[in-house]
Amino acid sequence: MKLTRCLTALTAAVALSATFAASAREYSVSTVLSDAFPWGQAAQKWADLVEERSNGEITLRVYPNAQLVAGDQTKEFSAMRSGLIDMAVGSTINWSPQVPELNLFSLPFLMADSADLDAITQGNAGEQAFAAIEKRGIVPLAWGENGFREISNSVKLVKTPADLKGLKIRVVGSPLFQDTFTALGANPTQMSWADAKPALTTGAVDGQENPLSVFDVARVDQVGQKYLTLWHYMADPLIFAVNQRVWKELPEADRELLRQAAIDAGKWEIELSRNSEAKRLEDIRARGVEVTELSEAEQQAFADATRSVQDKWTSKIGAELVEAARTAVAK
């Protein structure tokens, strides 16, 4: 009798374990930066919220530093679309080679500040951008933020387009960036961020452009970047997204849980990122970096110098989408 009770208990335990294993699911989440940066923190916040709200039944395992694509961040979208990656918190810049509409956010001097960015992402233009992503096999859930990109260099203070002439500037793998810096008279040099810091150290390139969070946390000032210009020439929104096949296999309740957790994580990260800007700038200045803030007229000179880039890329992005963004900013 005792043996029978033990066997019954063991059978029940095995059945319970099997039921839990069947209900517990784990998905991969790719990010380009670790949780030392707001970007990586956004992905981890999403994972934490999902874990908590699903009572541990859904686990999002975050893989930072683009490790699921061997460090090549421009391949992240393709890897997610093919199913090698389940989910991601990705950059509009890195996904733009596969989703040309996302080049909207890289148009130089389209947005002056966070209010302009919010008007675009939270309005018709943002909806069109999400529709373009979904059309390519990925389900976008929410927006995050990598911040406005500023420019630094190791040679001289930059206040006018003429100051950029001949400077070798590291840029990401996007033809639009090549066009922008060529229009400004610089010498754009495409390379991954993993290669950028060694290149800055040796002087193979003179400068780079990135949000303040990257300049600060990555200590770009330690590789000779003594001059920083706040020109807000473009913003890099982040997107929380899921592979379409994974999404379709999820029960409706789980979809809603994932979406709401992404929305909440995105809002949390955007607030964190923006609230940290002033302190980051103070710390950067304290480390001896000369920071230049442009007047409205000085910024307009850069905008005028890159007007041809906006004109050239409008047809590639989609005239309707660009017009929707401009209308949102104007309002």
Total tally of structural domains belonging to the chain: 1
Asked whether 229 and 294 are in contact (CB, 8 A), the reply is: yes
pLDDT value of residue 19:
39
Residue 11 within a domain: no
Residue 260 within a domain: yes
Taking residue 2's Cβ as centre, other Cβ atoms within 10 Å add up to: 6
Whichever domain contains 239, its CATH number is 3.40.190.170
Asked if residue 308 has pLDDT above 50, the reply is: yes
Residue 36: domain span? 26-330
Angle between helices 319-330 and 124-134 (to 10 degrees): 150
Asked whether 146 and 211 are in contact (CB, 8 A), the reply is: yes
pLDDT value of residue 2:
44
DSSP secondary structure letter of residue 320: H
Asked if residue 36 has pLDDT above 50, the reply is: yes
pLDDT tens, residue by residue, 73-125: 889 999 999 999 999 999 999 999 999 999 999 999 999 999 999 999 999 99
pLDDT value of residue 10:
43
> Residue 275 burial (CB < 10 Å; 0-12/13-18/19+)?
exposed
Q: Model confidence at 297, in pLDDT bands (50, 70, 90)? A: very high
pLDDT tens, residue by residue, 46-79: 999 999 999 999 999 999 999 999 888 889 999 9
Asked whether 203 and 154 are in contact (CB, 8 A), the reply is: yes
222: amino acid identity, one letter: Q
Nearest C-alpha neighbor of 220 from the set 255, 270, 254, 169: 169
Euclidean distance between CA atoms 131 and 13, whole angstroms: 46
pLDDT value of residue 71:
85
Residue 6 within a domain: no
Q: Model confidence at 173, in pLDDT bands (50, 70, 90)? A: confident
pLDDT value of residue 286:
97
Residue 262 within a domain: yes
Helix (H) or strand (E) holding 241: strand 235-243
pLDDT value of residue 331:
87
Residue 125 within a domain: yes
Residue 21 within a domain: no
The set of residues, in sequence order, having a beta carbon less than 8 Å from that of 8 and lying 6+ positions away, is none
Q: Model confidence at 174, in pLDDT bands (50, 70, 90)? A: confident
pLDDT tens, residue by residue, 212-239: 999 999 999 999 999 999 999 999 999 9
Euclidean distance between CA atoms 158 and 150, whole angstroms: 11
Q: Model confidence at 309, in pLDDT bands (50, 70, 90)? A: very high
DSSP secondary structure letter of residue 74: G
